[in-house]
């Protein structure tokens, strides 16, 4: 007998219970009662456990969050792992790219960080550390304020491997974000 059924049984048997009521409770406890996992409160708890990852302020998932095999949900556009089958645990996670030697907490000074940190990106070029909208470290060479939410929003101006950087201080007039690239970016002339 599990804990839930035992608790139900002890609540059902009160000091003033009749023999017939006690017998009915005992019969129910032997397996004729509804199991705990079928009760509404147990179903609600089960649904609560299945909640999917919640998007951040930019409307996408941070690095490390469950992405159910869909890169489009991730701020980085990268989901490592296969989409789980129904009933299977989601082992796929959003992943960062072009981290180089940067850590996730090394934001540029002008974007609200403690210090501007030099780095070497994945292409072997010198750059500066920044933090993406997906809360990942990123080593970039070129950067400018640009309205974006996801790394893929920056690919047209900064090429493959670009990232959308959260930079609310300097880029407040451009939506609080900047596009950064591992090489030179070509930004449109704002007029």
Domain ranges of the chain: 3-43, 109-181
Res. 35 pLDDT band, cuts 50 70 90: low
Q: pLDDT digits over 141-169, tens only?
A: 999 999 999 999 999 999 999 999 999 88
Predicted confidence (pLDDT) at residue 129 exceeds the cutoff of 60: yes
Amino acid 119: pLDDT? 94
Which pTM value belongs to this model?
0.70
DSSP code string of the chain: --HHHHHHHHHH--TT--HHHHHHHHHIIIIISPPGGGSHHHHHHHHHHTPPPPP-TTSSBPTTSB-TT-GGGBTTS-EESPPPPTTS----EE-----TT--TT---GGGT-SS--EEE-TTS-EEEEEEBTTS-EEEESEEEE---SSGGGGHHHH-TT-EEEE-TTTTGGGTSEEEEESS---PPPP-
């Amino acid at each position: 007998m599990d804990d839930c059924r035992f608790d139900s049984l002890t609540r059902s048997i009160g000091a003033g219970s009749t023999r017939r009521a006690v017998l009915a409770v005992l019969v129910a406890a032997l397996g004729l009662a509804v199991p705990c996992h079928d009760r509404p409160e147990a179903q609600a708890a089960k649904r609560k456990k299945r909640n999917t990852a919640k998007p951040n302020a930019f409307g996408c998932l941070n690095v490390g969050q469950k992405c159910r095999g869909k890169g489009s949900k991730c701020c980085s556009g990268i989901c490592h792992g296969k989409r789980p089958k129904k009933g299977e645990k989601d082992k796929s996670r959003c992943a960062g790219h072009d981290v180089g030697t940067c850590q996730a907490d090394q934001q540029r000074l002008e974007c609200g960080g403690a210090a501007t940190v030099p780095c070497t990106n994945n292409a072997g070029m010198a750059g500066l550390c920044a933090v993406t909208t997906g809360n990942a470290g990123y080593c970039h060479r070129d950067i400018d304020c640009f309205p974006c939410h996801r790394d893929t929003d920056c690919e047209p101006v900064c090429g493959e491997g670009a990232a959308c950087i959260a930079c609310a201080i300097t880029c407040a007039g451009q939506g609080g974000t900047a596009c950064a690239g591992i090489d030179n970016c070509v930004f449109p002339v704002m007029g």
